[in-house]
């Protein structure tokens, strides 16, 4: 009986996971360049400046510095630096790209993967700046990769050859 129990458990596990494999359906989303159809616009110089918030814990510092409000409060850290911001929750990346392209917001927030998806659309805007946060901590060659991507190179052979050296334990 002791040998049968693990065998039954193994059979049930295989049966469960093999039946679940058929349940996965992948959504093929069209490229953002086909979905985002707004015209490129100038960023308005009027106050307040719209800043998109994405739902993650790091934005709590932004909310706090804005006076714990959507609009910059008089006693806030941002106000003391001369900023007047309107914080807008924008978890829909397509909508965020549309706001950026149309000039409604000078900021586009997301992961590097998200921004990479929007690269074709961003090339239309002639944006001259890119701010990178925590992504550069674990990936010190990120800046070289961005320059190469903008030149049309998909992935640097140098980075591929250095990766095993940089990640090998001493």
44-57 pLDDT tens trace: 777 788 888 887 77
Domain residue limits at 123: 7-131
Is 102 within the bounds of a domain? Answer: yes
Is 100 within the bounds of a domain? Answer: yes
Is 121 within the bounds of a domain? Answer: yes
34: number of Cβ within 10 Å: 10
CA–chain centroid gap for 70, Å, is 22
For the chain, how many residues are written?
170
Q: Is 122 exposed, middle or buried (0-12, 13-18, 19+ CB in 10 A)?
A: buried
> Residue 41: which residues within 8 A CB-CB, separation 6 or more?
101, 102, 103, 104
pLDDT of residue 165: 47
Phi, psi of 104 (to 5 degrees): -65, -30
Is 24 within the bounds of a domain? Answer: yes
123: number of Cβ within 10 Å: 11
Whether the per-residue pLDDT at 73 is higher than 70: the answer is: yes
Is 158 within the bounds of a domain? Answer: no
How far is the C-alpha of 79 from the C-alpha of 57, rounded, in Å?
Answer: 22
Per-residue pLDDT, averaged over 12-29, amounts to 62
Predicted TM-score (pTM) of this structure = 0.62
Is 77 within the bounds of a domain? Answer: yes
pLDDT of residue 25: 67
More confident residue, 151 or 79: 79
pLDDT of residue 163: 47
Is 152 within the bounds of a domain? Answer: no
Say if residue 48 is preceded by a cis peptide, omega within 30 of 0: yes
Q: Lowest-pLDDT range, 3-12, 13-22, 66-75, 91-100?
A: 13-22
Is 150 within the bounds of a domain? Answer: no
Number of separate domains in the chain: 1
Whether the per-residue pLDDT at 162 is higher than 50: the answer is: no
Q: Lowest-pLDDT range, 50-54, 141-145, 156-160?
A: 156-160
Residues forming a β-bridge with 52: 88
pLDDT in tens, 95-135: 988 888 888 888 888 777 777 778 777 777 776 666 666 66
Give the pair of three-digit tokens for residue 103.
Answer: 């000039």
């Amino acid at each position: 009986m002791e040998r049968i129990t693990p065998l039954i458990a193994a059979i049930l596990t295989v049966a469960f996971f093999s039946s679940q494999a058929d349940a996965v359906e992948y959504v093929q989303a069209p490229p953002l360049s086909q979905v985002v159809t707004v015209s490129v616009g100038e960023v308005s110089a009027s106050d307040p400046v719209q800043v998109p918030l994405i739902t993650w814990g790091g934005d709590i510092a932004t909310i706090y510095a804005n006076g714990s409000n959507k609009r910059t409060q008089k006693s806030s850290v941002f106000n003391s630096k001369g900023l007047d911001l309107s914080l807008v929750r924008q978890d829909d990346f397509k909508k965020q790209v549309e706001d950026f392209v149309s000039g409604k917001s000078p900021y586009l927030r997301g992961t590097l993967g998200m921004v990479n998806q929007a690269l074709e659309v961003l090339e239309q805007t002639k944006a001259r700046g890119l701010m990178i946060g925590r992504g550069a901590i674990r990936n010190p060659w990120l800046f070289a990769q961005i320059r190469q991507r903008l030149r049309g190179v998909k992935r640097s052979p140098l980075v591929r050859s250095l990766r095993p050296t940089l990640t090998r334990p001493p």
